[in-house]
Amino acid sequence: MKDEMILKIEELTIGFLRLGKMNPVVDHISFSLKEGEILGIVGESGSGKTMSALAVMGLLPKAAHIISGKIDFMGKMLLDATENELRELKGSSMAMIFQEPMTSFNPILTIGAQVEEMLRLHTKCDNKEYRNRTITALLEAGLPGAESVYGKYPHQLSGGMRQRAMIAMAMIAGPRLLIADEPTTALDVTIQDKILRLLKKINQTHGTSIILISHDLGVIKSICNRALVMKDGHIEEEGPAKELFLNPQTTYTKELIAAVPVTWRIKSGQFSDDQKQKSHRNSEKSIGINTSENLDVNSLESEDKVSEENLLRVTELNVFYQERTKGIFSKKLHHQVVKDATFTIKKGESLGIVGESGCGKSSLAKAIVGLNKDIQGTITILSSRNKNNQSSAIRPQMVFQDPYGSLNPVKKIGWIMEEPLKIKGGFTKEERKNKVLEVISQVGLKEKHLERYVSQLSGGQRQRIAIAVALILNPELIILDEPVSSLDVTVQAQILKLLKELQQKYHLSYLFISHDLNVIYQVCDRVCVMYQGEIVETRNTKELFNDPIHEYSKVLLEAALPE
């Protein structure tokens, strides 16, 4: 790393005009980035992290106004640059990786065409050379079968593959500055580890300066040289990343660290000698959490909360999906994504499902709630409320990862919550209203939120509404598919605490899908490990985490340990 500054931001203030008043979302922040340095920026949603990055790239929304400040990039004052000058810099000198590549890629163009376009904008060569350089970029981004990926569309790739393709597109023209905005959010731990290693390799091989934005403190600590902590548009604290998280100075940074789920300790003898040393070292250092201040959701548990009575029994379940090949009249390909899955969930139990992206976790969950009917095998719901008439059991309800995408954006929250009661029938208008008021209170929100739209709520509030919609019909089983992966650590802690309280109050059972093994360890009684569509291990949570048997389980747990 050189001492030369590649980026310098001075007194940057960004605001939005509302009711005739300018409201700052970034307020007089100043920081710099050295050549070859990796700088991490952490903070809750709304702290100004992404807005600061968008200002550097010249990508601020039209409603945003730069009130004051300077952005010096390699001697070029970006706030004074013309649109043509900024367009020339994007891709060739600076590039940005966004949180969700599925929304960044054009769904009707192939991956190859979109990655190649960046090269065509900034270089001149023949078509064969464009293709060869694009395939090379995809290979360098760690995409196996790059020639095949070149011709695929975004929806045909897994989340990890799309993120790698986005990195290839960002890096193909050799930029000096790379801004990565939540590049590993919602990715499974093994894929997250690979993406972080790729970013580190890009930094070391090409000397690329990187700004890494994340709400995951472990991600920032693992590869960043320095870190900034932002809150309400201000920089609360900055310094060397490891030192900052081991010895935080401000109350807010301490609160952020305290909200991180406590990392489990790996029992010695589990890995090779080198891995043992790494595991022991990591378990002793894990981000410097003061466990006495940490949210202890396990304190809400009672010893007899899980009964011996099964609520759900899945036997030899096979799940398929169909994919049409090229051509309007071509036959559909029949793919199997879940193979002979067999497990049970007991009354009051939380069963976790972990595994890499594409292993079949979500496909399994959708089959259980009836969203995927192309299945073989049996799914039996054994309601304890009406043992003589199992068919009357309420079908399991599902809480999705992104409530913004699963809740109707054009309807008010009150309408969204009441709709399941209308569909089921048997309730008067007054009964529906009272039920909605009861449930909105249960998830920690107020009657006033019923008059709002989804877009008017924070991420945490939206997730509470998604949970409320799942609760409204009084199900005994709720399936939670990555319910906290995109939330900041403090909000994540609040949602996990809410789920525990609801489970204890109503004796609910959960099927909890997550890539965050710390979350799984904290909330689940048992865990199923899935690999390539099969359940390879099912164990008591603490037994599995302390002494995994299957080789894939060992790899998964090793990848989740902090550096």
Domain ranges of the chain: 1-93+177-258, 102-174, 309-396+478-563, 412-474
The residue type at 405: G
Under DSSP, is residue 490 helix (H, G, I), strand (E, B) or coil?
A: helix
Task: Give the model's pLDDT for residue 325.
Answer: 58
Cβ neighbours for 195, distance < 8 A, ≥ 6 positions apart: 160, 163, 164, 167, 183, 184, 187
Q: What pLDDT, on the 0 to 100 scale, is given for residue 305?
A: 64
H helix or E strand, kind and range, residue 540: strand 534-540
pLDDT of residue 475: 93
- Rounded Cα–Cα distance for residues 425 and 537 (Å): 41
- 36 touches 1 (CB < 8 A): yes
Q: Same fold for the domain at 1-93+177-258 and the one at 309-396+478-563?
A: yes
Residue 405, number of CB atoms within 10 A of its CB: 10
Residue 197: both structure tokens together: 């290693």
User: Per-residue pLDDT tens for 472-492?
Assistant: 999 999 999 988 877 777 788
Q: Which CATH superfamily is domain 1-93+177-258 in?
A: P-loop containing nucleotide triphosphate hydrolases (3.40.50.300)
Residue by residue, pLDDT tens for the chain (563 residues) are: 667 899 999 999 999 887 788 889 999 999 999 999 999 999 887 789 989 999 999 999 888 899 999 999 999 999 999 989 998 898 889 999 987 766 788 889 999 999 999 888 888 888 899 999 999 999 888 887 888 899 999 888 877 788 889 989 988 988 999 999 988 876 777 778 888 888 999 999 999 999 999 888 888 988 999 999 999 899 999 999 989 989 999 999 998 888 776 655 543 333 333 333 433 333 333 333 233 334 444 444 444 467 788 999 999 999 998 765 555 556 667 789 999 999 999 999 999 999 987 788 989 999 999 988 899 999 998 875 554 444 445 789 999 877 777 889 899 999 999 999 999 999 999 999 999 999 999 998 899 999 999 888 877 888 899 999 999 999 999 999 988 877 777 788 888 999 999 999 989 999 999 888 888 998 999 999 999 999 999 999 999 998 999 999 998 888 776 55
Q: Give the C-alpha separation, 228 to 164, whole Å.
A: 26
CA 310 → CA 76, 349, 390, 508, 512, distances in Å?
66, 9, 13, 12, 17
H helix or E strand, kind and range, residue 419: helix 413-424
Cβ(376)–Cβ(339) under 8 Å?
no
DSSP 525: S
The second-level CATH assignment, the architecture, of 309-396+478-563 is 3-Layer(aba) Sandwich (3.40)
pTM of the model: 0.72
Spatial distance between the Cα atoms of 203 and 205, rounded to a whole number of angstroms? 6
Q: What is the pLDDT of residue 56?
A: 95
- Reported as a single tens digit per residue, the pLDDT across 121-168 is 888 888 899 999 999 999 888 887 888 899 999 888 877 788 889 989
Q: Can you read off the two tokens belonging to residue 118?
A: 């960046």
Answer yes or no: are the C-beta atoms of 181 and 212 closer than 8 Å: no
Closest of 95, 31, 495, 485 to residue 228, by C-alpha: 31
Q: What is the distance of C-alpha 204 from the center of its chain?
A: 26
Long-range contacts of 243-251 (CB under 8 A, 24+ apart): 245/217, 245/220, 245/221, 245/287, 245/288, 246/285, 246/287, 246/288, 247/288, 248/288
Residue 473 is predicted with a pLDDT of 92
